[in-house]
């Protein structure tokens, strides 16, 4: 068919234009190699006299093809390698064309090309060196593909090159020094290539016409060369999220055309260069998340064109320069998380274009400038976690565009200006943990956009204004730890979007309102003076997950309608005057899994049999009541980590389960008829509280000192062994190697990289190195400390070789000889698990990420750790068997604490997301795990021994922390 079309093409070709025949033939041959289904190339007809009218084909006056432009056409095929007949082709644009495969070496034959645009395809392979023969090439756009390998070393031969874009590929290696030969280069962008490494060559300074330099999100290291100052025409330098270190050279001041300097998320140290003030055209300065020190230079105030300054998350000291008052075009000033001191300069109020002012997490003192109302465009003002004092200025109400205001954790005093509540755009108002007094004005009803209100931890008095009902968008309100009085206004039911209500630790009186917003998920009104019964309407709160009414004066019975709160996870009614029987409906709430506290009330009767269904419950406190009967109903509560039934009238044998056998006596005390069946117990610890504390402190100090010495010795040992060991690695060339993945390298490629400079971590069994393979791929290599550690070596191969889990590093293979044993892993550049879980900064992991790290580990031979432990517990086996054998034999209180912690962990790995507690709930449960001095009957005592080890004492408030008593489970989280 192709032959027939070619002949027809030849028969109809105009003899006067016969020279165009090979061009048309080449185009048709390429078309026929494509898998395209688009109609775009239908005009490429072999019966046409000339290809010059074909779609995407452009010719000059002589009929020669000079441009092929098929941008955005779904071609589905390979690049052409047969375009040599198109000897006048100057422009080849095939971007976004769904092309695959490599770039043909034949591209080096298209010598007239001035423009190549192959961006946004799926091209792979390396950039061919042959392309560097195109001396007339001005534009080379290869970005957004899957190209690999290094940037060609002869790139400097493209002497006419103006635009070079290689970003968002998989390139590796260093930037060739020959780049300095590109004297006409204006745009160089190679960011988004994680494996491009090495220092930025000083020869880059020879590209004196450079306008844009982009190397963001690469592994470029070292410091910026001082030759950067030779780039007098440079407008944008974007080298963020790399491995840059060292100081910014003062020569940056010579880049007189510079508008945008993006060097954030690096390891840059040293001070901000003073000569930066010479950059009169500078518009954006982003240096956040580095390690820069010293003061912010006053000279920065000379950059009068600047609109954005972000210096947050550094180690800057000194005060905010008053010269910033000259920056009349400044829109965003972000100085958070530094060590700045002094005051917020009054001159900052001259920056009338400011929309974002963030100075939180510093040591700024003094008052908020009274003229801050001049900032009419301000939408966000964060000054929390400082040492600011004085009153909140009324002029803040003049910032009519203000949407978020956070002045928390300062020492502000006086009242909240009522004018602030007239800000119609304000969505977040956070002034917690200050020394504010006065009242919450009724004007709060005017702040109709308010979504989040936190005024907790102040000295606010008066009542909660009824005008709060006008806040239809309000989602979160925390007024806890104040001096509020009066009742909870019934009008709060008008806050139809309210999910979080925290009023604990005030002086609120009256009863719980009959109507509360049905959207509520969290309610804490504990530690107030509420009276009366709990209303039947409580059952209408179908979204409620946590309800804390502890330490009030509530009375009556718990209404059966509480069963309507089907999502309830935590219920604390402790320290009240509730009476009657515990309603069976509490045992029918399937989601009740965090805590149920009914302590210090007047409940009577038996524990409802339905309590046996609370299989997920972690904390149960029913102490200090008048309950009676057996506690056998609690025997099947497998998830309990804390149980207190003391000071009741329970009787009968204690359930014979591991949990009850290890329950501290203090949690069972003063139940005259309760006894231990069989008398199996542990002797009491004869150490008093003081002696135990001193012993523990001595042990803790000893452990810390020992750990410090061991860590220091291990570090020295790792470096010494690394140097000595590497000399002997190749003494025996007989290596045994096994690879689980397709990798191309030799043992010598590995060994030569096992140097101290490549160490990325040490452990108990070996030292880990980062190794660059010849193909640009990076792997991690673990060298065992000793060649005799064959057990650890084989165990790691056996275990990790069979595990496939997204959160466990992949074992790629291993090799060994008589001197050394090496393990190969995927290299993960984000640091250790510890740094992810506990690291600071903008990259810190959230709870979802922490949970994903731990969920569902699968062991060799198909065994599932979580399932194994569940089955172990379900079969009534001793929970101690789950712990490491090295931990067994500890004192009874210690074992009890470990088992309680284990129980908390199993709440966190429930297979149903709704059943898993939030992190703050886990913290609340862990706070209940405390060291207790366990008293048990002596061995040999049997049935009939009662558990009243001490004379009954009244249910007095035994203070623990923050006013919480031993018969109350306080649940409040100031960090929400």
DSSP-derived letter for residue 629 is E
User: What token pair was written down for 63?
Assistant: 């009929």
Q: Name the binding residues for ATP.
A: 783
d(CA 925, CA 572): 13
Identify the CA nearest to 847 among candidates 976, 681, 709: 976
275 in Cβ contact with 298 (< 8 Å) = no
Nearby residues of 797 by Cβ (< 8 Å), 6 or more positions away: 811, 814, 823
Identify the CA nearest to 735 among candidates 745, 722, 721: 745
Identify the CA nearest to 76 among candidates 54, 97, 92: 97
Angle at 725 between CA 722 and CA 729, to 5 degrees: 125
d(CA 651, CA 22): 104
251 in Cβ contact with 205 (< 8 Å) = no
Identify the three-state secondary structure at position 879: helix
d(CA 113, CA 262): 34
d(CA 212, CA 241): 17
**Neighbouring C-beta atoms of residue 953, cutoff 10 Å:** 10
**Neighbouring C-beta atoms of residue 299, cutoff 10 Å:** 18
**Cα dihedral sign for 277, 280, 282, 283?**
positive
DSSP-derived letter for residue 119 is -
Angle at 324 between CA 323 and CA 329, to 5 degrees: 130
For residues 527-561, b (16+ Cβ closer than 10 Å) or e, as one string? bbebeeebbeebbbbeebbbbbbbbbebbeebbeb
518 in Cβ contact with 494 (< 8 Å) = no
Residue 78: enclosing H or E segment and its boundaries?
A: strand 77-78
d(CA 79, CA 729): 46
For residues 388-398, b (16+ Cβ closer than 10 Å) or e, as one string? beeebbebbbb
Residue whose structure tokens are 């150490």: 687
117 in Cβ contact with 92 (< 8 Å) = yes
Q: Which long-range contacts (CB under 8 A, 24 or more apart) does 775-779 make?
A: 775/148, 775/149, 775/172, 775/744, 775/745, 776/148, 776/149, 776/150, 776/171, 776/172, 776/173, 776/195, 777/172, 777/195, 777/743, 778/195, 778/827, 778/829, 779/743, 779/812, 779/824, 779/825, 779/826, 779/827
Identify the CA nearest to 767 among candidates 717, 729, 718: 718
239 in Cβ contact with 285 (< 8 Å) = no
Q: Name the binding residues.
A: 783
């Amino acid at each position: 068919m192709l032959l027939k079309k070619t002949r027809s093409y030849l028969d109809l070709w105009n003899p006067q234009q016969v020279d165009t025949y090979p061009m048309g033939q080449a185009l048709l041959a390429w078309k026929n190699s494509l898998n395209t289904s688009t109609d775009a190339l239908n005009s490429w007809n072999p019966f046409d006299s000339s290809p010059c009218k074909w779609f995407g084909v452009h010719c000059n006056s002589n009929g020669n093809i000079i441009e092929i432009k098929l941008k955005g056409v779904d071609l589905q095929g390979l690049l052409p390698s047969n375009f040599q007949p198109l000897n006048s082709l100057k422009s080849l644009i095939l971007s976004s064309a769904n092309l695959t495969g490599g770039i043909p070496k034949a591209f080096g034959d298209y010598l007239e090309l001035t423009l190549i645009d192959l961006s946004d395809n799926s091209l792979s392979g390396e950039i061919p060196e042959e392309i560097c023969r195109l001396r007339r090439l001005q534009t080379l756009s290869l970005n957004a593909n899957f190209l690999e390998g290094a940037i060609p070393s002869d790139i400097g031969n493209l002497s006419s090159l103006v635009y070079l874009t290689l970003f968002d590929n998989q390139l590796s290696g260093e930037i060739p020094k020959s780049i300095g030969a590109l004297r006409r280069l204006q745009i160089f962008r190679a960011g988004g290539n994680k494996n491009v490494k090495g220092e930025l060559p000083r020869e880059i300074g020879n590209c004196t016409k450079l306008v844009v330099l982009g190397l963001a999100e690469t592994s470029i290291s070292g410091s910026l060369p001082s030759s950067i100052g030779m780039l007098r025409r440079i407008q944008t330098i974007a080298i963020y999220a790399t491995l840059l270190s060292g100081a910014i050279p003062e020569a940056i001041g010579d880049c007189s055309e510079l508008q945008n300097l993006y060097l954030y998320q690096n390891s840059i140290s040293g001070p901000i260069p003073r000569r930066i003030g010479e950059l009169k055209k500078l518009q954006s300065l982003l240096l956040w998340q580095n390690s820069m020190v010293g003061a912010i230079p006053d000279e920065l105030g000379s950059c009068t064109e600047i609109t954005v300054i972000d210096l947050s998350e550094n180690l800057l000291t000194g005060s905010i320069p008053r010269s910033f008052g000259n920056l009349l075009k400044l829109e965003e000033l972000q100085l958070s998380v530094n060590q700045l001191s002094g005051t917020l300069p009054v001159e900052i109020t001259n920056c009338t274009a400011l929309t974002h002012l963030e100075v939180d997490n510093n040591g700024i003192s003094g008052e908020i400038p009274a003229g801050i109302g001049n900032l009419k465009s301000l939408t966000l003002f964060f000054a929390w976690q400082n040492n600011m004092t004085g009153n909140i200025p009324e002029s803040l109400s003049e910032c009519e565009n203000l949407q978020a205001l956070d002045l928390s954790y300062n020492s502000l005093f006086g009242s909240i200006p009522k004018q602030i509540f007239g800000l119609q755009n304000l969505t977040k108002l956070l002034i917690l943990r200050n020394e504010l007094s006065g009242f919450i004005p009724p004007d709060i009803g005017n702040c109709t956009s308010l979504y989040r209100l936190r005024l907790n931890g102040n000295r606010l008095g008066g009542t909660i204004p009824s005008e709060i009902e006008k806040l239809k968008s309000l989602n979160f309100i925390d007024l806890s730890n104040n001096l509020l009085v009066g009742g909870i206004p019934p009008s709060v039911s008008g806050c139809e979007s309210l999910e979080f209500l925290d009023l604990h630790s005030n002086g609120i009186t009256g009863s719980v309102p009959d109507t509360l917003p049905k959207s509520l998920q969290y309610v804490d009104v504990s530690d107030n003076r509420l009276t009366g019964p709990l209303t039947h309407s409580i059952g209408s709160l179908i979204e409620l997950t946590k309800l804390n009414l502890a330490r009030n004066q509530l009375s009556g019975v718990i209404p059966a309608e509480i069963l309507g709160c089907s999502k309830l996870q935590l219920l604390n009614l402790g320290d009240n005057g509730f009476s009657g029987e515990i309603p069976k409906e509490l045992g029918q709430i399937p989601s009740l899994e965090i805590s149920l506290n009914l302590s210090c009330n007047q409940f009577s009767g038996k524990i409802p049999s339905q309590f046996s269904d609370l299989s997920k419950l972690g904390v149960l406190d029913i102490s200090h009541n008048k309950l009676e009967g057996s506690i056998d109903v609690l025997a099947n509560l497998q998830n309990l980590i804390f149980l207190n039934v003391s000071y009741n009238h329970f009787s009968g044998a204690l359930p014979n389960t591991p949990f009850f056998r290890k329950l501290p006596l203090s949690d069972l005390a003063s139940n005259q008829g309760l006894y231990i069946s069989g008398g199996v117990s542990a002797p009491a610890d004869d150490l008093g509280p003081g002696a135990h504390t001193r012993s523990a402190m001595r042990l803790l100090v000893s452990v810390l000192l020992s750990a410090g010495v061991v860590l220091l010795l291990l570090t020295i040992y790792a470096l010494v062994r690394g140097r000595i060991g590497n000399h002997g690695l190749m003494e025996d060339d007989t290596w045994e190697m096994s690879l689980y993945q397709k990798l191309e390298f030799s043992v010598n490629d590995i060994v030569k990289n096992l140097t101290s400079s490549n160490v990325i971590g040490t452990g108990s069994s070996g030292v880990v190195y980062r190794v660059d393979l010849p193909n640009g791929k990076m792997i991690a290599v673990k060298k065992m400390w000793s060649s005799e550690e064959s057990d650890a070596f084989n165990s790691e191969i056996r275990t990790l070789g069979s595990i496939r889990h997204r959160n466990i590093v992949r074992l790629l293979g291993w090799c060994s000889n008589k001197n050394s044993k090496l393990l190969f892993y995927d290299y993960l550049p984000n640091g250790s698990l510890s740094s992810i879980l506990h690291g600071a900064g903008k990259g810190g992991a959230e709870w979802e990420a922490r949970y994903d790290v731990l969920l569902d580990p699968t062991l060799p031979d198909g065994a599932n750790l979580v399932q194994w432990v569940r089955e172990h517990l379900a079969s009534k086996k001793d929970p101690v068997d789950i712990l490491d054998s090295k931990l067994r034999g500890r004192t009874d209180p210690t074992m009890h604490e470990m088992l309680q912690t284990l129980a908390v962990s199993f709440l966190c790995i429930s297979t149903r997301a709704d059943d898993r507690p939030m992190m703050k709930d886990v913290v609340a449960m862990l706070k209940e795990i405390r060291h207790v001095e366990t008293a048990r009957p002596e061995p040999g005592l049997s049935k009939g021994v009662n558990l009243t080890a001490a004379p009954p004492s009244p249910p007095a408030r035994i203070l623990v922390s923050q006013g919480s008593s031993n018969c109350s489970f306080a649940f409040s989280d100031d960090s929400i």
